[in-house]
Structure 1
Amino acid sequence: MKYTRYNIKQKRKSKGSFFLYLVITLLTALLLGTGLSFMFNKGSEGKLDAKTVESNEKTNKEQGENKGEPNHQFYLLQCGVFKVKENAEALRKTVEPLGSPFIVQEGELFRVYFGVYSKEQWEPVYNMLKEKGINTTKSVIDVYYDDLSTGELCQIIEANFKIVNKASEQNIKGVKTNELKTWASSLQAIEEDKKHYKDVVELKEYIKGLPEEVDKTKVSEIISITYDKIKQFKK
């Protein structure tokens, strides 16, 4: 897996025209679409640009709820939802040979998620589950960047789930974490007044403490730590 260092530098906010913002937004969408594919495809590159994030932050505040295209998206594949935890656990065990499903309690309901994926990853997994006769629904979490901490948090969350998804493959015994650690430590330090400062610092420290190789026995822990950060973006 190849990690590419993000170039995150603070820049003066731009007051460009609407056309310039539109171009920046389209480029950002394209960039985030390819996102962290470098993790499993050598030679790919990705950047999280501070000027773009700051422009998005200003526009999001001006537009309120009508924010247009999200800056980041997480795709959750759900295999079932139950009122009884034992039933959710039974389904989780049924699909466990295919990956690393996990249960999330929301109110009185227990949701069985097969995994969290990027825009490029979810469809092949969804089709695989469908072929296996497993009823699966897709839900999307849209994230709008408030500041640089939101962008970094999303990238780290996605990186962690890509490690989880790779380690969960049937023929994979373990995934080396040295490149993940190097990449995470190279990210720009977040200022303490930023919205997701604590979340970013916590995940960076967690990654730093990971063993040299992650296998299936470590997957559930990574999911628990990481999903706890992603659920705040759910509406």
Structure 2
Amino acid sequence: MRYTRYEYKRSNKIKFLCSIALIAGVSIGGGLYLSNVIFNGKEIQSNSSNSGYSTDVNYESNIQNIVVLQCGYYSKEENAKELVNSISKYCQPFIVEEDGKFRVLAGIYKEDDGLKKIEEFKNNNIDVAKVSLNISKDNVDNKKILEIIDGFLTVRNKLQDNGVKSIKTAEFKEWADKILNDNGSNKSEKLNYIESYIKNLPDEIDKTNSDTNIQQLYKLIKN
């Protein structure tokens, strides 16, 4: 009787454990199935109704995000210009035309600076969308490009300070040249594009000519 009773209790325990295992298996399997159905095996995306962009969430450690802040996307240029005038006291906005549409961009930033700017816009009730232009750091050329972009953004964004009216570019050009030509070897097409861009910068950047330069940089980064 003791042996039979012991086996009976043991059998109940086994059934209980099997039930738990079965429920857990169904839950996990069901969760994975629903995940595949909902997201279709793709990365999660963040969409903005007025951005014209779809921004992928990126978890790769060898990717650096250059943040573009967009405040509007219009079919008419006059509407874009109106928005530029209304937000110019908070940033240095510029317009980029693409496929007959006009993007109002509030600036290009390194990611940390961009997040701070987003908070400033939110505090002033300005609609803004963050767009990440991802650049891989998996080769020497891209690392050089990222370093130069960071340097130029640091220089250009100084114009946002009320006390700064213009910035001379000679020192920046010299610094960039050393990075681009550090080993004396033939440069890739990408580096040649960046070098040409740097050489064509005006001797002095101010608030009247910075839009053209930042528009060109945006297109270079995007490409």
TM-score by length of 2: 0.64
Number of the residue aligned with 2:98: 106
- The number of residues matched between the two structures is 164
Q: Residues 67 and 94 of structure 1: is their aligned pair in 2 closer, same or farther, counting only changes over 3 Å? A: closer
Q: Residues 140 and 186 of structure 1: is their aligned pair in 2 closer, same or farther, counting only changes over 3 Å? A: same
Structure 1 residue 71: Cα displacement: 3.1
| Gaps in structure 2 of 5+ consecutive residues | 1-57
Question: What are the within-5 Å matches in structure 2 for residues 1-235 of structure 1?
Answer: 68-145=60-137, 147-189=139-181, 191-192=185-186, 194-207=188-201, 210-211=202-203, 213-232=204-223
Q: Residues 151 and 218 of structure 1: is their aligned pair in 2 closer, same or farther, counting only changes over 3 Å? A: same
Letter in structure 1 aligned against 2:214: I
Query: Which stretches of structure 1, 4 residues or more, deviate above 3 A after TM superposition?
Result: 176-179, 190-193
Letter in structure 2 aligned against 1:71: I
Tell which structure's C-alpha radius of gyration is larger. 2
Tell me the distance in 2 between the aligned counterparts of 1:81 and 1:170. 28
Which structure has more relative contact order (CA 8 Å, sep 6+)? It is 1
Contact map agreement 1:88 1:112 (CA 8 A) in 2: yes
Structure 1 residue 202: Cα displacement: 0.7
Number of the residue aligned with 1:63: none
Tell me the distance in 2 between the aligned counterparts of 1:191 and 1:215. 34
| Gaps in structure 1 of 5+ consecutive residues | 1-65
Comparing both structures, which one devotes a greater share of its residues to strand? 2
Structure 1 residue 131: Cα displacement: 1.4
Letter in structure 1 aligned against 2:99: G
Q: Residues 108 and 176 of structure 1: is their aligned pair in 2 closer, same or farther, counting only changes over 3 Å? A: closer
> What SS does the aligned partner of 2:163 have?
coil
RMSD value, Cα? 2.4
